Chain A
Amino acid sequence: MDDSQGKDGSRLMKKYIIRRILSGILTIFIVFTLTFILIKSAPGDPIRTLIGQDNDDPVLQAALEEKWGLNKSLPEQYFAYLSNAVQGDLGTSIIYERSVNEMISEKVGATVLLGLTSAILALIIGTTLGILAARHEGSAYDTITSVTTYTMNSVPSFWLGLMFIILFSTKLGWLPSYGMTTARKNYEGWAYVVDVMRHMALPILTLTMVTMPKYFRTAKSSVLQVMNEDFITTLRATGMSEKKIFSKYVFRNAILPTITIFGITMAYLITGVSLIEVVFSWPGMGRLVLTAINQRDYPTLQGIYLIMSVSIAVVMILVDIIYAVFDPRIRYD
C-alpha cells in the first residue's frame, strides 16, 4: 500500500467515525424524545404514588403537581428537562426527592458487578461447550449439551432463580437467598468480600444459565460453518494437523460473532438483569427501573432510559468501528 492509499484510508476512516458518532447523537436525541412522549402517555402518574392509593385529595394533588412542574404544558416540561439533560443533570426523582444522577451512580456498580461477571462466565462456558459440541458433532456429548442448553434457553429466568433459592438456600442451606450482604452481620475487609460473593452466587448462576445458550449456539454454528469452508479442506489436504487447523484458523474465525454478542449483551446489561435483581433483591439499576416504572417516576425513568440509550449507542458505534477496521468496505457505505 502506498502513502496516498494509506492517507485516503485514514481520511475515510475518520469520516466514517464522525458520521457514525453524529448518527449516534441523532439516535439518542430521537430516543430521548420518544421515551419522554411514551412515559408521559402511559396511564398513571407519580403524584398518585406520592399521595397514596386511598387518598384522592385534590388539594394535595394540585400542590404536588405545582411543586414538580407537572401542571405545565408538555412542551415546557420537555424543553426544561432537555436543557438540564444536555448539561448532564438528569433531574430530581419525584418520588425520592433525590438527584437522579446520584441514584443511578449508587446502583450502577451493583448491576455491572452482576451483569459483567455473569456475561463473562456465560461467554467462557457457553463458547467452550459450543466449540466442543461442534468438534464432536453428532456425539452423545453434543446431544446432551444441545438439549440442555436449548432447554435452559426456554426457562424463564425468574422461575429458575426461585428454584435455585429453594434448592440451595431453603433445602440445602448453602447460600443466602437475597440481598448483597447478610442482614444480621456487619462484615468488614475480606469477610465482607466473601459475604458479597456468597450473595452473588445464585443470581450469577441463574444469569449465566439463561445467557449461556446464546453463546453455545453461536459458537457451535460458527465453528461448524468455518470447518466446512473450502480453505479448511485445502489446509487438510496439505497435511496440516486438525489441532493446528482448529487453533490457527477455525477458532479465530469462529470467535468473532461471539464477541459481537458479548458487546450487545453488555449494551443491554440493565434490562438483562432486571428480573434477576428483583428475585434476589439485588440492589442494582434493574430494580430501580422496575420501581420507577411502577411508580411512574418520570425523571428517574427518563434518566435511566437516557443512560441506556447512550450506552447502547456507544457500544454499537464501537462495534461498527471495530468491524470497519477489519472490513474496509464498510467505510465506503
Chain B
Amino acid sequence: MKKVVSLVLCLAVLLAVMVLPAFAEEERCGGTLVVRINGDPVSFNPSISSDDNLYKPAQNFYNRLVKLDASKQIIPDAAESWDVSEDGMTITFHLRQDMYWTDGEALDAEDVAYTFTYIKEHSTCYFSSKMSNVASVEAVDPYTVVFNMAEPDVSIIARLGWYGTFILPEHVFNNGQEWADNPASTTPTVTSGPFTFVEYKQGESITLAANPNYFGGCPQVDTVVFSIIADSETAVQALLNGEIDELASMPTSYVEQLVADDSVVLALNEYPSPIRIVFNCLDEKISDQALRTAISMCIDREDISAKATAGIMPPEYAMYPSLIAWASNTEDVAPAFSVENAEKTLVDAGYTKDADGYYVRGLTIDVFSSSAYYADAAKLIAANCAKAGIELSVNVLEYNSWSQKVGTERNFQLEMQGGFMGPDPSAMRDRIGSGQGSNYSGYSNAEVDELLQKAVATGVTEERAGYFKAVQKILAEELPYVNILAYAGYDAHGANVENLPIDGTGKWGWNEYTYTRFVD
C-alpha cells in the first residue's frame, strides 16, 4: 500500500498542473529583472556546498527532485510524484518526462542516480552526511529513480528540497574529474532550469537568460540579473530608485518608511527558524530543570516582539514552529510569562535569597552581535530575571567568536540562536537528539530519541505528527531550549513587478523567478 503522504503530494502536483500552464500561456512581458544577493557565490556547483549566495541563482538554472515553496513546504520539481514502501526501506521518485538539458540531452533518472551516488561517495559534499541512511540510489527506468534506504528515513524527501541537492548533467560531470575541478562547476553552460547561465562578473552580478524550452514554460522576463550588494542600507536605496526590483530580508528599520511608499510592495516572509534560548544542560547550575523553568517564565515574548523587532517577528510559544501547523504542538508549550511564578518555582525548588535579593547569581547568556535584536531580547529577559532574583548578564560577541565559544567549545550557560527547523520537523533530531552535532544543549533523552526515530520511519503524516507532538510535550517540560520569537522578515519589491517567489506558495519555488513579470 502506498503511503498516505503520496496522496497529499499528488494534490500538490495536481494544483501545480492546474496553475502553471495558466502562467505559461500568458503573454511574456520580457525585460530585465534585477534581484539583490548579498555576496559572491562560492562556486557555480550548488551540489557541493551550502551556499546562501548561490541558492537563488541555482534555483533558477538547475532543478532538484523536490523544491521548497514560500511557506518552506516541499512541492514537486523534477519528480512529479514519489512514494514510500511500507517498510520505509525504498523511496521511489517518478520523474517528469519532458525535461531536457540546454544541450538537448534528456534529463532522466540516470542523471539523478549519478548525482546522488557521487554526493554519497564524497564526504566533502554538503549533502553526503545527510545520506547516511541511504544505501544506494538506482535508476530503475529512464523516469524512475529509487533511493534504497539502509534505515527507514522519510525525512530525506524534504531534505532533498534544501541545500546541496541539485541534479547535475551526468554527461558533463562524469568525465573522470572531481566536481570541484570540472569547468562546469565554474561556468554551468549545460543546465535544466527556467533560466540559462549567461555571465558572472565577480563582485558585481550573475546574469541568467530565459530558457524557452523549460518544462514549466518559458519565463516571463528575458533576463534575471542577480546583483551583488553587500550593504543592506544601500540595497534599500537601490530598490527605492528602481535600480533593483527585489530585495529579500529588508532591514526592519525601513519598514515604516516603505509601507508608506506606493512604489514598493512589502510581503512578510515567515520561516520555521525560531529565535530561541538554548540552555546548556551540562552546566552545573543550568542542569537544574527548576532553574530552566524559572528563566523561561521570565520571557515576555509580547514585549520582546514589540520592543526588539517592532512587532515584525511574532511571539513563538510552541516548542516547534507554529508555522508548520501539522507538526507543531500548540497545546504543550513553554511556561507562560510570570515573574511571580518564576520566583515561586525557585523557592519551591529550595533556592534561597542572598543579601542582595538573588536566588541565583553569575549566569551569562551569549548572543552574537550581527542581529541587533538578539542583544535587545536578551537584555529584556535579563531585566525580568533580575526581578525574579536571577542574576543574568548578557555577553554580546562577534559571530565568529560566538560560534567558537558556543558551537565549538560549548562553553556557555545560556545562548541565543536562530536557525532553520525544517524542511522536515525531524530537523528537531539534529537539535536535541542525543549526541547530535547541532545539539548545543547537550540534552539527552532516550524516549525523545525513540519518538524521533519512529517519526522518520513512517510516511503517514498523522502518525508522524503524533510522534513530533509527543516530543514537544516532553521538551516543554524539560526545556533544553525555549523558543521566543518566530523568525520573519519583510521581502520588498517594486510595485511594477508581480508573481515573485514570495507569492508562490503551492505553485512555484522559493527564490524561483519563472513567473515573475513586470506590470504596467
B357 close to chain A: CB less than 8 A: no
- CA separation between A67 and B48, bound complex, in Å? 14
Residues in A whose Cβ lies below 8 Å from that of B244: 183
Pairwise interchain contact B43-A97, C-beta atoms closer than 8 A = yes
A291 close to chain B: CB less than 8 A: yes
Which of B123, B128, B132, B401 is most buried by chain A, counting CB atoms within 10 A of its CB? B123
Q: Please, what's the 1-or-0 string for B78-93, where 1 marks a CB less than 8 Å from any CB in chain A? A: 0000000000000000
- CA separation between A56 and B409, bound complex, in Å? 12
Residues in A whose Cβ lies below 8 Å from that of B235: 178
B252 close to chain A: CB less than 8 A: no
Q: Please, what's the 1-or-0 string for A176-202, where 1 marks a CB less than 8 Å from any CB in chain B? A: 111111111000000000000000000
Minimum Cβ distance to chain A for residue B153 (Å): 16
Beta-carbon nearest neighbor of A173 in chain B: B241
B62 close to chain A: CB less than 8 A: no
Which chain B residues (431-445) contact chain A, with CB distance < 8 Å? 436-438, 440
A278 close to chain B: CB less than 8 A: yes
Residues in A whose Cβ lies below 8 Å from that of B49: 50-51
Residues in A whose Cβ lies below 8 Å from that of B202: 103, 106-107, 283
Q: Please, what's the 1-or-0 string for B150-180, where 1 marks a CB less than 8 Å from any CB in chain A? A: 0000000000000100000000000000001
Minimum Cβ distance to chain B for residue A33 (Å): 22
- CA separation between A44 and B408, bound complex, in Å? 9
Pairwise interchain contact A43-B234, C-beta atoms closer than 8 A = no
Pairwise interchain contact B237-A67, C-beta atoms closer than 8 A = no
Minimum Cβ distance to chain B for residue A277 (Å): 8
Pairwise interchain contact A96-B40, C-beta atoms closer than 8 A = yes
Pairwise interchain contact B124-A179, C-beta atoms closer than 8 A = no
Q: Which of A42, A182, A278 contacts B231 (CB 8 A)?
A: A278
Residues in B whose Cβ lies below 8 Å from that of A52: 50, 126, 163
Which chain B residues (212-255) contact chain A, with CB distance < 8 Å? 225, 227-231, 233-235, 237-238, 240-241, 243-244
Beta-carbon nearest neighbor of B164 in chain A: A52
Q: How many A-B residue pairs have CB under 8 A?
A: 145
Which chain A residues (131-184) contact chain B, with CB distance < 8 Å? 162, 165-166, 169-170, 173, 176-184
B407 close to chain A: CB less than 8 A: yes
Do A281 and B234 form a contact, CB below 8 Å, given A53-B419, A60-B124? yes
Residues in A whose Cβ lies below 8 Å from that of B205: 179, 183
Beta-carbon nearest neighbor of A176 in chain B: B243
Beta-carbon nearest neighbor of B49 in chain A: A50
Pairwise interchain contact A183-B243, C-beta atoms closer than 8 A = yes
A63 close to chain B: CB less than 8 A: yes
Residues in B whose Cβ lies below 8 Å from that of A166: 237
Which chain A residues (94-112) contact chain B, with CB distance < 8 Å? 95-97, 103, 106-107, 110
- CA separation between A284 and B204, bound complex, in Å? 10
Beta-carbon nearest neighbor of B39 in chain A: A291
B353 close to chain A: CB less than 8 A: no
Pairwise interchain contact B203-A170, C-beta atoms closer than 8 A = no
Pairwise interchain contact A281-B42, C-beta atoms closer than 8 A = no
A279 close to chain B: CB less than 8 A: yes
Pairwise interchain contact A51-B40, C-beta atoms closer than 8 A = no
Minimum Cβ distance to chain B for residue A89 (Å): 18
Pairwise interchain contact B404-A281, C-beta atoms closer than 8 A = no
Beta-carbon nearest neighbor of A275 in chain B: B231
Which of B202, B420, B440 is most buried by chain A, counting CB atoms within 10 A of its CB? B202
Pairwise interchain contact A48-B403, C-beta atoms closer than 8 A = yes
Beta-carbon nearest neighbor of B440 in chain A: A56
A333 close to chain B: CB less than 8 A: no
Q: How large is the interface on B (under 10, 10 to 19, 20 to 34, 35 or more residues)?
A: 35 or more
Residues in A whose Cβ lies below 8 Å from that of B408: 48
Pairwise interchain contact B400-A58, C-beta atoms closer than 8 A = no
Residues in A whose Cβ lies below 8 Å from that of B43: 96-97
Q: Which of B231, B240, B420, B437 contacts A57 (CB 8 A)?
A: B437
Do A279 and B231 form a contact, CB below 8 Å, given A44-B400, A56-B437, A63-B123? yes
Pairwise interchain contact B42-A178, C-beta atoms closer than 8 A = no
Q: Which of B42, B128, B203 contacts A107 (CB 8 A)?
A: B203
A217 close to chain B: CB less than 8 A: no
Which of A181, A184, A278 is most buried by chain B, counting CB atoms within 10 A of its CB? A184
Q: Please, what's the 1-or-0 string for A41-85, where 1 marks a CB less than 8 Å from any CB in chain B? A: 011100010111111111111011001000000000000000000
Pairwise interchain contact A184-B32, C-beta atoms closer than 8 A = yes
Pairwise interchain contact A181-B204, C-beta atoms closer than 8 A = yes
Pairwise interchain contact B180-A278, C-beta atoms closer than 8 A = no
Pairwise interchain contact B407-A48, C-beta atoms closer than 8 A = yes
Minimum Cβ distance to chain A for residue B120 (Å): 12
Beta-carbon nearest neighbor of A58 in chain B: B437
Beta-carbon nearest neighbor of B233 in chain A: A162
A296 close to chain B: CB less than 8 A: yes
Residues in B whose Cβ lies below 8 Å from that of A173: 241
Beta-carbon nearest neighbor of B33 in chain A: A184
Do A67 and B241 form a contact, CB below 8 Å, given A50-B49, A55-B438, A162-B234? no
Pairwise interchain contact A177-B238, C-beta atoms closer than 8 A = yes
Do A287 and B234 form a contact, CB below 8 Å, given A44-B400, A54-B420? no
Q: Please, what's the 1-or-0 string for B386-406, where 1 marks a CB less than 8 Å from any CB in chain A? A: 000000000000111101110
Residues in B whose Cβ lies below 8 Å from that of A162: 233-234, 237
A280 close to chain B: CB less than 8 A: yes
- CA separation between A61 and B50, bound complex, in Å? 13
Which of B225, B231, B238 is most buried by chain A, counting CB atoms within 10 A of its CB? B231
Q: Please, what's the 1-or-0 string for B342-355, where 1 marks a CB less than 8 Å from any CB in chain A? A: 00000000000000
B34 close to chain A: CB less than 8 A: yes
Which of B124, B240, B405 is most buried by chain A, counting CB atoms within 10 A of its CB? B124
- CA separation between A323 and B126, bound complex, in Å? 57
Which chain B residues (117-143) contact chain A, with CB distance < 8 Å? 123-124, 126, 128-129, 132
Residues in A whose Cβ lies below 8 Å from that of B400: 42-44, 48, 294, 296
Residues in A whose Cβ lies below 8 Å from that of B420: 54
Beta-carbon nearest neighbor of A67 in chain B: B124
- CA separation between A170 and B403, bound complex, in Å? 38
Residues in A whose Cβ lies below 8 Å from that of B231: 278-279, 281
Q: Which of B240, B401, B404, B440 contacts A170 (CB 8 A)?
A: B240
Do A43 and B403 form a contact, CB below 8 Å, given A60-B124, A183-B225? yes
Minimum Cβ distance to chain A for residue B170 (Å): 22
- CA separation between A239 and B234, bound complex, in Å? 59
Q: Which of A57, A284, A296 contacts B203 (CB 8 A)?
A: A284
- CA separation between A57 and B231, bound complex, in Å? 30
Q: Which of A56, A64, A178 contacts B229 (CB 8 A)?
A: A178
Pairwise interchain contact A43-B405, C-beta atoms closer than 8 A = yes
Residues in B whose Cβ lies below 8 Å from that of A181: 201, 204
Minimum Cβ distance to chain B for residue A42 (Å): 7
Top 9 A-B pairs, shortest CB-CB distance: A283-B203, A44-B400, A56-B437, A43-B404, A63-B123, A52-B50, A54-B419, A43-B401, A56-B438
Supplied contacts A51-B126, A287-B230, 16 more A-B pairs, CB within 8 Å: A43-B404, A48-B403, A50-B50, A52-B163, A60-B128, A67-B124, A106-B202, A169-B238, A169-B241, A177-B237, A180-B204, A184-B243, A281-B230, A281-B231, A283-B203, A283-B204
A sample of 15 inter-chain contacts (CB < 8 A) reads: A43-B398, A43-B401, A50-B42, A55-B438, A56-B436, A58-B437, A60-B123, A61-B437, A63-B124, A64-B124, A96-B43, A177-B234, A281-B229, A281-B234, A291-B40
Tell me the B residues contacting A by CB distance below 8 Å.
32, 34, 39-40, 42-43, 49-50, 123-124, 126, 128-129, 132, 163, 180, 201-205, 225, 227-231, 233-235, 237-238, 240-241, 243-244, 398-401, 403-405, 407-408, 419-420, 430, 436-438, 440
Tell me the A residues contacting B by CB distance below 8 Å.
42-44, 48, 50-61, 63-64, 67, 95-97, 103, 106-107, 110, 162, 165-166, 169-170, 173, 176-184, 278-281, 283-284, 287-288, 291, 294, 296
